[in-house]
Structure 1
Amino acid sequence: MLIENTPQLGPSDISAGHDCNSNLTSSDDGSNLGYPIMLKNSVDSSDPESLAFDPNSEEIKKVRWKVDKRLIPLLAVMYLCSFLDRANIGNAKVAGIERDLNLQPGEFNTALSIFYVGYVLGEVPSNMALKHFGPRKWLPAVMFVWGSVMIAMAAVKTAGGLYAARFFLGLAESGYAPGPVYIISMWYARNEQTLRVGLFFSASTVAGAFGGLLAYGISHMDGLHGLTGWQWIFIIEGIPTILVCFIALIYLPDFPATSTFLTPTERALTIKRLEVDVGPGVEPNLSWVQFWAAWKDWKVHVHMFIAILHGIPFAALGLFIPSIVQGFGYDHVKTQIMTVPIYAVACFFVILFAYSSDKKKERGFHMAILSFMGMIGYACLVFTRDSSVGARYVSLMVCTSGMYGYVPVMLSWVGVNIGGQTKRGVALALIIAIAHIGSVIGGQLYRNDDAPLYVRGHTVSALLMAGATVSVLVFKWLLIRENRRRDRLTPEEYARESSGTDLADKHPSFRFYS
């Protein structure tokens, strides 16, 4: 069946094996989406063939809102737990973990970096497991593991114990990181994804603010039942993760074709809406053609390069905001509370740029502006080091807003431009993995011999974000050029490039968001 009111290609151009058989007539901005579709999905509906498709109909909006209510709040809470559990070691540092474990110079930074070693090692296998087991089983399982490790961290007595706990925490959390972006790419049209990624990712800024508030309160528990403040941080922030994993096991849906919270008609509408946007998308098994295609795709390589430029300073920032703020002259208790406004402002920018990026169907300029904000913020932290606390505090706000706002736009850029479920999942895992290889380096960026001003760390971060700004703009130009090349294909060239199976985004009718 062909969806009504869509441009039709010849029979040779339509392949049920293709994910993303698009026929975009406006290639630069990703608008005017029109795809010939053959429904592959077997949906139990009274008459799914008769469902006329209008992406702006009230019925479609109601179904999308139903999915939003079920999916986004739960993903956000799960991500809040993830970010809180990985970053609370920064609050533990302020609360005295270095002193109590008698850590030698450099050992705390090693504990930060080793988390990302486990993270990187588990990234690709975990995302393949997500595809195999489904989100409802896999994500709660890894949540239970990392929540248990988080609580157990309160018992560490030595640097070696801290290293082991951080490694296994990273290994467990690697199973969650690419999951939400992958799930969102399976449930939403391309021009709807960035806002949803931004909404769930904004939980990281909420985690930063909430973590600061929580650490402020927990600081007053120091000595209670013979435990230090940092031990209470690990215990109290690990328990909610365990509780949330059981909620997720009950309420988290898998993919549209197998969802049980939608009616048969709602499933048919959801699947049809996605097929009109990205083509037939059911892959009952892993596609090894797409698996290897993800490793060889030049676009994935560019995304990886951009991700590592951002990943190095971003990891350091998330871990060291409490230490940077403490360097402004606050005591360890007030430091915790002063981190809250920084994250609150960042949350606003995350949602603002995610909304704008989807609204305008644009990625490159949004990322360039945000990376430029990060660069300016870091530069101001260097050049205002002898200025008032207020000037440095505002500089840190600008920097944090740019760095956090960048992430959902970057991740959704991958989701909308990589076709094929397997290829998209592997690409996301590779890009997040390489970003966290950068995080291993980032854990070494802010060292005690650079405290309290951290001039060296801020300078390196500013240079990396300058590189990210330039790289994003070059990548945008390359995508526009490729779209225009496909627009100019002759019928013979089109037929040659569209032959084969599992082409995904290599199909000449696919157009990239730039």
Structure 2
Amino acid sequence: MADQLVQHNLAVDSAPADDHNTSSSDEKKSLDASVEIKSTDAGILAVDDLAYKDEALKLVGLERTEVFSEEYYRRLRRKLDLTIPPLCSMVYCTQYLDKTALNYARYHYPACIPIFFLPPASIMGFPVTGQGYNLVALSFYIGFLVWVFPTMYISQKTRIAKYLGINVVLWGIVMMLHAIPRTFAPFFVLRLILGMLESCVAPILILIISMFYKKSEQASRISWFYMMNGFSSIIGGFLAYGVSYTSDPNLPSYKIIYILLGALAILSGIAVLLWMPDSPTNARMLSREEKIAAIERIRDDQGGTENKKLKKDQLIETLTDLRTWLVVLSTLLTNIPNGGLANFSNIIIKNFGYTTKQTLILATPAGLIGIITTPLVGWWSDKKGERMLPIVYILIPTLVGAAMLVGLNGSTDKGALLFATYIIGTYGSSLSQIYAYNASNTSGHTKKVTINAITLATFCVANIVGTETFLPQDAPNYIQGKISILVLLSAECFLCLFMRWYNLHLNKGKRQAIAQLKRDNGWTDADIAKERERHAFLDMTDKQNPYFVYTA
């Protein structure tokens, strides 16, 4: 790497240290930083105004000036844990319930029964049937795909938690409006809008977690809200089961579901508006001292917090970064099977010889598998500093279960078949690990926003494609669909190992570059540590920042 010398001139007019007697206008530090670059081979950006840097620099300087004890950091983390993960979990739970409400509204069991194999009549009185129902179901994903990129770039320009809260309230209203129409067109439009409004959820939650938590804490916090998928599937199934017994002809069961879930979403959105912090710099729940501590505790991770400026260079880098497309491929390989299993797992159980209501009860342990394995995998991922190996480990039971279903095809051993169906569900936590991979391995706010949007768009496409792996002509055993699970997830195991190796390879190159900097400029380890501090909040991407370390 060619010679590089980065010189920072920093003038700071600090606000008073007393966080109880400081006005909001006094909380900001005026910062005028200039950067002189002899060589740009490392991709270091020349920055000359605060708008181009991280929002964190409104409170802290380029170098660490305040030091907090580990006990102080632990108390601060506990305070964050009491607010951020619960709100994230509530939103994610609400989203899952609302996204699958159409299936609950038509039938009294969870959304795992494929619409192609159910009778045309709706026991809940849902007025749209046949191909119209299929199109209404598809419209959600159309809205999601169309709006996921615009909504993320809009969120970057706004206060991100407030933007999320408004979207949640709006989709709650849209949910309740589903109780009004009785024809295809309004339902199609409402589901389209619902998909648009819900497309911001996971990317924003990942961004919020990455702003407040260290890399070694992110996977577990993401897993806490992601396990709501399993929790919600259980709640939704039993809620729909109970509502299905209502007999008032003036208020069909499907309307009750939409009204209840819509009201829940509105309450969740209000809670987010009131209590979810947008970033460490403007978190009302934190004192000024705690805001600074929240920023300083993530400084060494080099991930930054947020920046309101949409940067073309970061957008281009995201699209040209090999790691982006590895994430896309990984998301496809894990979620094409998800698209099939999410829609067909219950009918697979039913085909073992159970009634519909027996299937409803027997399907609930699959949700419990997700509730147990997702936080466990997240905890282990943080403890070991790994992102890809946990995916490999959780795919092993899924591969064993799929192999058992193929090998036991035609068997009457219901116990073994049910066991195989249950352990297949361990793959579900793989997407939470991909979320954590993005959070821990991406720097630069525009790049974060873009990679999260790409991941969610890929997830949406994969689930649509996945429904085509279980074809009507393969009923009732769906051997081809089960084999596709084996093939795709086996390939994912090898891809995860490659992605892990590639990140370690990039880290090796960064260590060599830093060693070269020390030799060329006569820097000591202390000089490197100071430069690392100065780079933390310049809103540089992981590739531009020579001090960024990838998590394997």
Q: Same fold (TM over 0.5)?
A: yes
Distance 1:495 1:462, change over 3 A: farther
CA distance in 1, matches of 2:135, 2:484: 19
CA contact (8 A) 1:39 1:272 kept: no
Deviations 1:210-245 (A, max 9, x none): 112212212222x32444444433333332112211
Match of 1:52 in 2: 67
CA distance in 2, matches of 1:13, 1:478: 31
The SS at the match of 2:121 is: helix
Matched, 1:122 2:147: yes
CA distance in 1, matches of 2:472, 2:55: 59
Distance 1:422 1:141, change over 3 A: same
Match of 2:58 in 1: 42
Q: TM-score, normalised by structure 1?
A: 0.84
CA contact (8 A) 2:152 2:203 kept: yes
CA contact (8 A) 1:72 1:199 kept: yes
Pick which of 429-438 and 280-289 moved more: 280-289
Bigger relative contact order, structure 1 or 2 (CA pairs below 8 A, ≥6 apart) = 1
Question: What does 1:422-461 correspond to in 2, within 5 Å?
Answer: 422-461=446-485
CA contact (8 A) 1:367 1:469 kept: yes
Based on CA coordinates, which of the two structures has the bigger radius of gyration? 2
Match of 1:218 in 2: 243
Matched, 1:99 2:121: yes
CA contact (8 A) 1:294 1:426 kept: yes
Distance 1:218 1:266, change over 3 A: same
* Runs of 5+ consecutive residues of structure 2 not aligned to the other structure: 10-32, 36-53, 109-117, 522-530
CA distance in 2, matches of 1:233, 1:183: 30
1:82 corresponds to which of 73, 95, 103: 95
CA distance in 2, matches of 1:494, 1:283: 33
CA distance in 2, matches of 1:13, 1:453: 67
- The aligned amino acid for 1:512 is Y
2:216 corresponds to which of 191, 208, 213: 191
CA distance in 1, matches of 2:541, 2:178: 44
Match of 1:475 in 2: 499
CA distance in 2, matches of 1:107, 1:420: 43
Root-mean-square deviation (CA, aligned residues, Å) is 3.2
* Runs of 5+ consecutive residues of structure 1 not aligned to the other structure: 1-9, 19-37
Shift of 1:112: 3.8
Question: What does 1:163-202 correspond to in 2, within 5 Å?
Answer: 163-202=188-227
Match of 2:548 in 1: 510
Match of 1:314 in 2: 338
Match of 1:298 in 2: 322
Identity of aligned residues (%): 24
CA distance in 2, matches of 1:395, 1:183: 37
CA contact (8 A) 1:143 1:242 kept: yes
Deviations 1:391-430 (A, max 9, x none): 222222111122x211211111011111112211111111
CA contact (8 A) 2:216 2:382 kept: yes
Question: What does 1:384-423 correspond to in 2, within 5 Å?
Answer: 384-387=408-411, 388-402=413-427, 404-423=428-447
The SS at the match of 2:202 is: coil
Q: TM-score, normalised by structure 2?
A: 0.78
Matched, 1:70 2:83: yes
Shift of 1:283: 2.5
Deviations 1:9-32 (A, max 9, x none): x962879799xxxxxxxxxxxxxx
Distance 1:85 1:279, change over 3 A: closer
